[in-house]
Chains A and B, each alone.
Chain A
Amino acid sequence: MCETCGCSMSQTGKIVEVHQTILSANNRQARSNREHLAKLGTIAINMISSPGSGKTTLLERTIDELGNELRIGVIEGDIETDRDAERIREKGIPVVQITTGGACHLDAHLVHKGIRALEAQLARPGLDLLFIENVGNLVCPAAFDLGENIRIILLSVPEGSDKPLKYPKAFISANLFLITKTDLLEYFDFSIEEAFGYAAKLNPAIETMALSSKTGQGFENWLSYLKALTGKL
């Protein structure tokens, strides 16, 4: 375009109209993952949060409580280490570690590989629930559809109740907003009501829950929620 007046007169080169999201390749793979998971009868849950908000601890306790009733698998996304996968493996649950090699999020292609690797570990095909622990941050993971059925955003009490305002996309795209570490409420200036209020402003359809993986407070709701997802309530 002509720099001065914006007319197209002095245009050199060929113009190609694209109108495609830059994530279209990822979104295609995500659709294919979703179809694949549906065939396996698996509900996949993408867990998004800041680092250290309690994702792995929540999974450990959830596996302790539901591991005998439901067939659970886990994909662990991490930038470098496989410590989280090791924690899950100790529970005797099929788990695959994906290291992103520096990238700050999982994408649908990585998860596709993860699902394949997980399937290879199963004695018999099929899983009720697949938890995908995303890399800890609230920006990029929110942009990448992995082919999950449910997206959960976790926020721990020490992080503050105004987080939804700082990361709107993460809250807009989530199905469930889970506040973690509620045992710490008495030590922090955190208002559950305020956090839920902000989230509802961004996403009126979002479901909300609060729990502590340490004391087990709020866990009954969480476990019923999961069982309802799998149709085994």
Chain B
Amino acid sequence: MHELYLAQSLLQQVTKLAHENKASKVLKVKISIGPLSGIVVDSFKFGFDALKRESSLTSKAGLEIETQPLVLYCMECSREFQAPDSWPRGSTTCPGCGGQSLLPKGEDEIVLQQLVME
């Protein structure tokens, strides 16, 4: 349900940009979803596909989603490494120094990266 509203925000922004570029059809929408956004990617896709049909401008638009891995930053030795699936539930330690003060790093937003339109 929440993803639906975010998909709607995306489509509003896409529509605005399409008008600004005097396009008649949007072919592709490329976005990235940050690892800390809490977004369920499949629900977001579902919402996008349902809502894009409401306008002929966007009805044929493909959605390309780039997801990024969650990175942890060790506050003791400054190393950065990819968070294991068990994080934050398990007891993760830094592979460099064994440190336990780890800071999650990564986008927490949905970013519209690129549009292809005609």
Question: Across the interface, do B5 and A103 meet the contact criterion of CB distance under 8 Å?
Answer: yes
Q: Which residues of A contact B66 (CB under 8 A)?
A: none
Q: Which residues of A contact B38 (CB under 8 A)?
A: 139, 142-143, 167-170
- Report how many residues on chain B are interfacial, defined by Cβ distance under 8 Å: 35
Question: Across the interface, do B108 and A169 meet the contact criterion of CB distance under 8 Å?
Answer: yes
The answer for the CA separation of A189 and B7 in the assembled complex, in Å, is 37
Q: Which residues of A contact B110 (CB under 8 A)?
A: 21-23
Question: Across the interface, do A13 and B118 meet the contact criterion of CB distance under 8 Å?
Answer: yes
Question: Across the interface, do B9 and A19 meet the contact criterion of CB distance under 8 Å?
Answer: no
Q: Which residues of B contact A172 (CB under 8 A)?
A: 36, 104, 108
What is the predominant secondary structure among interface residues of chain B facing chain A?
mixed
The answer for the CA separation of A69 and B113 in the assembled complex, in Å, is 49
Cβ of A9 to closest chain B Cβ, rounded Å:
14
Residue of B nearest to A201 (CB): B88
- Report how many residues on chain A are interfacial, defined by Cβ distance under 8 Å: 38
A208 interface residue (CB < 8 Å to B): no
Question: Across the interface, do B5 and A104 meet the contact criterion of CB distance under 8 Å?
Answer: yes
The answer for the CA separation of A20 and B27 in the assembled complex, in Å, is 18
Q: List residues of A (137-195) whose CB comes within 8 Å of B's CBs.
A: 137, 139-140, 142-143, 162, 164-165, 167-170, 172-173
Cβ of A182 to closest chain B Cβ, rounded Å:
24
Given A22-B109, A202-B88, CB of A169 within 8 Å of CB of B37: yes
Annotate A113-152 by CB proximity to B: 1 below 8 A, 0 otherwise: 0000000000000000000000001011011000000000
Q: Which residues of B contact A162 (CB under 8 A)?
A: 89
A105 interface residue (CB < 8 Å to B): yes
> Using a CB–CB distance below 8 Å, which chain B residues touch chain A?
1-2, 5-6, 9-10, 13, 17, 21, 23, 25, 27-28, 31, 36-38, 75, 88-89, 101-104, 108-118
26 pairs, A vs B, C-beta closer than 8 Å: A13-B27, A14-B21, A14-B23, A16-B21, A16-B116, A17-B113, A18-B112, A19-B114, A20-B111, A22-B6, A22-B9, A22-B10, A22-B112, A23-B110, A24-B13, A26-B9, A103-B5, A104-B2, A140-B2, A140-B5, A143-B6, A143-B37, A143-B38, A169-B38, A172-B104, A202-B104
